[in-house]
Structure 1
Amino acid sequence: MKRLIYTLFILLTICYSCDSFLDVRPTGEIVNNELFETAEGFEEAIYGVYSYLAREPLYGKNMTYGLVDVVGQYFSGGWDQHWSNQLRLYNYKHMEVRPEIDAIWESMYKGISYVNNMLENLAKHDSTKFALYNVYKAEGLGLRAFMHFELLRLFSESIIQNPNATGIPYRENYTYQVTPFDPINESYNKIIRDFKEAERLLAAHGEYFDRVDENAGGFVKDRVIHMNLYAVQALLARVYWEKGDLETAKNYAMKVIDCPFFSMEDKTNVEDIMNGIISDKETIWGLYSEEFPNYTRDVMYSSGGNNYYDPKPDYREIYEVDQDGFDYRLDKWFQTLSDHGAEGLRCMKVVDRFKVRLNTRPVAKLSGINMIRLPELYYIVSEYYLVSDNMEMAATYLDKVVKARGLNGFNKGDGIVVVSRMNINNDRRKELVCEGQWFQIMKHYNMSIYESITDQTFQASKDIYVFPVPDNEYEYRN
C-alpha cells in the first residue's frame, strides 16, 4: 500500500509537469532541446505522451466509451439534439460530427509528433549515456506504432477487404514537411517494424515486472502504465489479427498468456475490473489518469445535461445470446440507478462507483484507462484454433473468458464441443463494451450493422467503416 501511495504521488507530480510542458507549446512549434539533456527530461516527455493520450479527444473518451462505441452501437446521446445521434446513423459529414472525427486525426498526429521529437533528441545521445536509453527508445517506438495503427484502423479500409487500399501517412520525423499517404500494406509494414524493434529492445534490456533495479529509478515502477514488453507483444497480436495473419497473431498472444503476470479476474469481482481503475490482473497496458473518473462520471453516470450517453434499448439482447449460466457482466456493468443526478439505466463498467458517490475505495488502485486486456488475446487464440479445425482447443481458450464471467462455457465435458466464430464474436461484443474495439471487429468481418432506435440496417461499406480524413490534410498537400 505504501509503495502504491508513493507511486501515485510521483505520477501526479510528473503528469502535472508533463501536461504543462505539452500545453505551452504552440501547434507546429519545434520544441527546444533543453528538456532532453537528462534522463529525467526524457522521462517527463514520455509521461507527457501517456498523459496526452488519456485526454477526452482520445482515450479519455472518444476512442474508448465515446465516439467509437457510439458507432459500435452500444450507446446513444441522452439528449435528442446531441451530435452523437447523428453519429450512430453514420452521418460523418454532419456539421457537429465532422469536427469530432477530425479531432481524432489531428490529436493522434500531434501525439506522434511529441514521440518523434523525443526519439530524435534521444538519437543525439550515445546509448550509454542513460541507464534506460533503450527503454525510452522502445516505449517511443511502441507508442508511435500504436498511434499510427489506431489511425489506420479508423481512416483506412480493412486490408482484408481491400489489400490495395490507401493507408495513412507514417510520420517518422519531427518536421514541417508533408508525409505522403502509404499503400495500406506499407503502413502495416512500418507499424510492425516499429513494434518489433520495441520488442527487441525491451527483451534485450529485460522487463521489470519480475525484477528490481535500484539504479533504474522510479520510471520502471508499475510497468503496466508503460508501453512494456508484454503490451508490445499483445498489440502485435492485435495488429496481425487485423492483418489476417491468425497464426502469427496467436503466437504473439501466447507469449503474453504464457507469462506469469496476468490472469482473469474472478467472476465475483467483475464490477471492479476497470471501473475507473487499471485492472491489476487482466490489464497488459493502461494509461494512468486521475481525470478519467471525472470524464466517465459526466458521460456514463450522470443522467442530466447535454453530454451523457444512454445504453441502446437492445443492450440486454447482446448478453442474452449464448447465455448459459449467470453473466456477471450484464448484472454489474448495466445498472438501474436512483442516485442524485444519476437515474435510470446506466452503463457502469468504466465508472468509478466510489468516486461518483464520494466514497473511499477500500483498496487503493491506479486510476486510469485499460488499453489492452487479457480477454482479447484469448479470443484471438480461440479463433486460431477454430479455423485450424481444433474445436476443443477453440472452446478451451474461449472458456477462459466465458467461465470467468459466470457462464458455463462451451466445453461441458460431455464429449460434444461446438464453437463458431459467431460465438467468439458474441462474447467479444459483451466483453469489450466501453473499450472502443467492437466497431473495429465489425469492420474486420465486414458486418452489416443494425441500429435499434430507428430500426435500420446499414450494409457494410466504405461510407460506414472508413472515417473521412480531415479536409485540411489535403489542403496542406496542394
Structure 2
Amino acid sequence: MIRRLKLLFCAVLGTLAMSCSDWLKVSSEDRIMENDLFRTSHGFMTSLNGIYIDLLNSSLYGKTLTWGMPDILAQYYTCREKDHAYSSLATFDNVSKNSAVSGTWSRSHTLLNNVNTLLEHCESDRDVLDDTYYHIIKGEALALRALLNFELFRIFGPSYNGDKESECLPYALTSETKVNPLLPAKEIARLIMEDLKNAEELLAGYDPVIEEGVVWADEPDGGVNDMRYRSMRLNYYAVQALIARVALYGGDKEMAWEYADKMIRGIHEEHKWFPFVTQEEVAATEKEDRIFQSEILFGLYNLKRKENVYSVGFGPNLKQGSVLRIDKDIMNEMYEGDENDFRLAYWFSDMVDPDNNSYTHMIKYMDVDDLDTKTEISKGYTYIMPVLRVSEVYLIAAECCPDPKVGRDYLNAVRSVRNVKNVADEVDLTTVIEQEFRREFLGEGQLFWLYKRKGKAEIISGETQGKVVSMEERFYLFDLPQSERDYREENGIGN
C-alpha cells in the first residue's frame, strides 16, 4: 500500500462479454493462463482484486448502479427538459431505460463468470490456500456473486412482491460454457440468499473485521495488506447488511429485522466499528468528509472518481443540458430547510456554469485534500463510491422492527447523527422512513429500488416543488438485452 489505496488489476479474467452466450468462446490459452494464476495465494488475491476493480466500470458502480440510472429514474435531478441529455431516461422512455442497462447485463455476466472460476479454483486448488485465505476469498466471492445477481434482479426482475413466478434471469453456479435457463423470480431470490448465508458462514471466525474493525492503515514494515481496509471488501458485516437488504426487498421483514439487528449489535454494541461520522469530520476545512467514510460497510476505491463521476455528472464545467443538478427549492424541502443537517449543509453548493447560470450543484463527490498528515495515506474521501452503509441498516431496522416504538428509535438514531431533531411519536413511521431514505442516499442509487419494492403509484417530482410523477408498472420494468433474447430464441433456451 502506498500513498493511494491501489489494488491489482486482473488482466487474465477481465474479458468483456456481450451476452451469456459469448462465454462459449474460451480459448485453451486462456485456460492455461488461468491455471498459472491460481498456483499461489497471491494469484488468488489478484483474481479477486480484479473483480472488485471491474465493479467500478461505468456500467456498474462507476455510474449506472449509483449516481446514474436509478437516481435519474428516482427523479432526484432536474433533467426532464427535452433538450437535456437524460430527458428521455428521466421520463421513463423504454428504449432509453433498456439502453442504460444493456452494459450492466453484459459486464455483470463477465464478472459472474470470473467469480465462478475463482470459486471453482478455491476447491480444486485448496492446498494453495491456508484456512484464513480460503475462508476470506471464498466468502467474498460468494458475496460478490450474490451482489451482482441481486443488482440484475432489481433491474430485470419483476416487481417482486406482486410477481414471484415470472421467469426472469439465469443464475450460473459454475463457469461451464453454456447458457443457463431463465429461472422464476422466487428461485433467483432463494439462490441469492443461499450464497449470502454461505458467505456469512465462511467469513465468521476468519474475517479480521470482526475483532479488529476496518483497520484503515498499511501493514507495518511493508507487509501484505490483504486483510486490511476491510470496508473496501465484502466483509462479514457488509454481508449481513446485504442479507437485510435482500430480505426486505423480497418482503421477508422478519429476516430483514433479524440481520439488521444482528449487524447493528455487532458493530455498535459488541464493538465500536463503523462509527457514525462526526460534525468535525464533515466540516473540516478543505478536508470535508462528504461521503461519511467511517460509516461505509462496503465501498469501492475509485482513483478516477473526480474525472469519471464528479466532472462528468455534477461539476460546474457542465452546461445546463448535461449537468445533473438539484432544484434548490426541492432540495430545501427535502431536508426540511434545516441547515443543521450535515447533508444539506455540505452536499450542495451554488455554482456558475459555462453559460453564466447560477445553479445548486451536488458536491458529494467533489474531491478534497484527504491525505492523512501522519501516514500520508488517503482517507478515501475523494475516491470511495459507497455501496452499503450503516445508516441503511438502521433504516431497515426501523421499518422491520416488530415494535414501532423501537423502530422509531432506530430512525431517530440516524436523524440524530445527521444533526436533525427526532420525529414525534405520532408521526407515520412508514412515511418518515421513506423521507429519510430519500435524504440519505442521494448519488448512491438506492431510492428507485425502494419505490419499485413498494410499487409506488406516485413519486416526488424533481422538477416542480409540491408536484408528483405518476408511475406505471412498466416504468419499473426492464427488458433483457435484445442480443440475449435473440440468442435464447434461436436456441430454444428460456423465454
TM-score tier after normalising by the smaller chain length: 0.7 to 0.9
1:372 partner SS: strand
**Alpha-carbon distance in structure 2 between the residues aligned to 1:127 and 1:253:** 36
Shift of 1:158: 2.4
**Alpha-carbon distance in structure 2 between the residues aligned to 1:429 and 1:320:** 9
**Alpha-carbon distance in structure 2 between the residues aligned to 1:362 and 1:175:** 46
More deviation, 463-472/333-342: 333-342
Change beyond 3 A, Cα 1:149–1:336? same
Shift of 1:330: 1.7
Q: Is the 8 A contact 1:275 1:351 kept in 2?
A: no
1:219 partner SS: coil
**Alpha-carbon distance in structure 1 between the residues aligned to 2:297 and 2:397:** 16
Q: What is the aligned partner in structure 2 of residue 469 from structure 1?
A: 480
Q: Which amino acid aligns with 1:245?
A: D
Q: In structure 1, which of residues 375, 393, 396 is the aligned counterpart of residue 391 of structure 2? A: 375
Q: What is the aligned partner in structure 1 of residue 275 from structure 2?
A: 263
Superposition pairs for residues 211-226 of structure 1, below 5 Å?
211=212, 217-226=224-233
**Alpha-carbon distance in structure 2 between the residues aligned to 1:425 and 1:257:** 20
Q: What is the aligned partner in structure 1 of residue 350 from structure 2?
A: 336
1:336 partner SS: strand
**Is the counterpart of residue 408 in structure 1 residue 417 in structure 2?**
no
Q: In structure 2, which of residues 271, 277, 296 is the aligned counterpart of residue 283 of structure 1? A: 296
Change beyond 3 A, Cα 1:47–1:320? closer
Q: What do the CA deviations read for 1:192-212 (whole angstroms, capped 9, x no partner)?
A: 111111100000424345349
Shift of 1:171: 1.5
TM-score with structure 1 setting the length: 0.86
Q: % of aligned pairs identical? A: 26
Q: Is the 8 A contact 1:57 1:63 kept in 2?
A: yes
Q: In structure 1, which of residues 388, 393, 396 is the aligned counterpart of residue 409 of structure 2? A: 396
**Alpha-carbon distance in structure 1 between the residues aligned to 2:207 and 2:469:** 50
Q: Which amino acid aligns with 2:125?
A: H
**Is the counterpart of residue 430 in structure 1 residue 443 in structure 2?**
no
**Is the counterpart of residue 243 in structure 1 residue 255 in structure 2?**
no
Q: What is the aligned partner in structure 2 of residue 351 from structure 1?
A: 365
Superposition pairs for residues 12-27 of structure 1, below 5 Å?
12=6, 14-15=7-8, 17-18=9-10, 20-23=11-14
1:227 partner SS: coil
**Alpha-carbon distance in structure 1 between the residues aligned to 2:171 and 2:351:** 46
1:120 partner SS: helix
Shift of 1:458: 2.5
Q: Is the 8 A contact 2:290 2:346 kept in 1?
A: no
**Alpha-carbon distance in structure 2 between the residues aligned to 1:85 and 1:78:** 4
Change beyond 3 A, Cα 1:346–1:46? farther
Q: What is the aligned partner in structure 2 of residue 384 from structure 1?
A: 400
**Alpha-carbon distance in structure 2 between the residues aligned to 1:66 and 1:307:** 12
Q: Which amino acid aligns with 1:200?
A: E
**Alpha-carbon distance in structure 2 between the residues aligned to 1:43 and 1:423:** 43
Q: In structure 2, which of residues 303, 307, 326 is the aligned counterpart of residue 311 of structure 1? A: 326
2:386 partner SS: strand
Q: What is the aligned partner in structure 1 of residue 452 from structure 2?
A: 443
Q: What do the CA deviations read for 1:338-378 (whole angstroms, capped 9, x no partner)?
A: 48899733443432342xxxx56566312221110011011
**Alpha-carbon distance in structure 2 between the residues aligned to 1:420 and 1:78:** 31
Q: Is the 8 A contact 2:196 2:243 kept in 1?
A: yes
**Alpha-carbon distance in structure 2 between the residues aligned to 1:7 and 1:209:** 25
Superposition pairs for residues 140-289 of structure 1, below 5 Å?
140-208=141-209, 210-211=211-212, 217-258=224-265, 259=267, 260-267=272-279, 269-270=281-282, 279-289=292-302
Shift of 1:419: 4.2
2:294 partner SS: coil
**Alpha-carbon distance in structure 2 between the residues aligned to 1:275 and 1:74:** 23
**Alpha-carbon distance in structure 1 between the residues aligned to 2:14 and 2:83:** 32
Q: Is the 8 A contact 1:54 1:60 kept in 2?
A: yes
Superposition pairs for residues 34-49 of structure 1, below 5 Å?
34-49=36-51
Q: Is the 8 A contact 2:295 2:389 kept in 1?
A: yes
1:218 partner SS: coil
Q: Which amino acid aligns with 1:440?
A: W
Change beyond 3 A, Cα 1:235–1:73? same
Change beyond 3 A, Cα 1:25–1:405? closer
Q: What is the aligned partner in structure 2 of residue 60 from structure 1?
A: 62
**Alpha-carbon distance in structure 2 between the residues aligned to 1:408 and 1:430:** 14
**Is the counterpart of residue 133 in structure 1 residue 134 in structure 2?**
yes
Q: Is the 8 A contact 2:78 2:326 kept in 1?
A: yes
Superposition pairs for residues 293-308 of structure 1, below 5 Å?
293-295=306-308, 296-304=310-318, 307-308=322-323
**Alpha-carbon distance in structure 2 between the residues aligned to 1:314 and 1:468:** 35
Q: Is the 8 A contact 2:15 2:110 kept in 1?
A: no
1:475 partner SS: helix
Shift of 1:170: 0.7
Shift of 1:470: 0.6
**Alpha-carbon distance in structure 2 between the residues aligned to 1:39 and 1:343:** 55
Q: In structure 2, which of residues 88, 91, 96 is the aligned counterpart of residue 89 of structure 1? A: 91
Q: What do the CA deviations read for 1:401-427 (whole angstroms, capped 9, x no partner)?
A: 11111211125xxxx553420011001
1:424 partner SS: helix
Unaligned ranges ≥5, structure 1? 1-5
Change beyond 3 A, Cα 1:324–1:136? same
**Alpha-carbon distance in structure 1 between the residues aligned to 2:338 and 2:250:** 32
**Is the counterpart of residue 327 in structure 1 residue 328 in structure 2?**
no
More deviation, 121-130/244-253: 121-130
Shift of 1:190: 0.3
